[in-house]
Amino acid sequence: MMTTQEKKTVERMKSALLLHLGNYCYSQSVDEKTGKNVDALLAIGALSPEDAAFIKGGGVKFYGFNSSLFWSPTPVLELESTTCRLVGTSAGSILEMRR
């Protein structure tokens, strides 16, 4: 069972992946170079300021985002806590691996 903090983290990851990056991809594309830079994604409106701060703020590994891989389970974000590892994919899913 997830802790309250883990649930909040999952919601923030979903926000970044589904609400912002996912919605952006329906009308625009993100090239590989832009997709590897959180500030560039923020500048083009693919991420909200809150999502960019979450990604840049400690503990989140950002692997990059490429809109051509949107429907594939390619890892985009990863966060490890003391109880689990959360991986957000380009398809918008959050994978939870318990320790």
d(CA 81, CA 61): 12
* Percent of the chain as helix, strand, coil, to the nearest 5: 45, 20, 35
Q: 52: which 2 tokens?
A: 């960019």
d(CA 8, CA 2): 10
Q: In angstroms, what is the C-alpha Rg of the chain?
A: 13
Q: What is the pLDDT along the chain (99 residues), one digit of tens a residue?
A: 677 877 788 787 777 776 788 778 778 888 888 889 999 999 999 888 988 988 888 778 999 887 777 777 888 888 887 788 888 887 778 888 877
d(CA 86, CA 10): 8
- State how far Cα 95 lies from the chain centre: 12
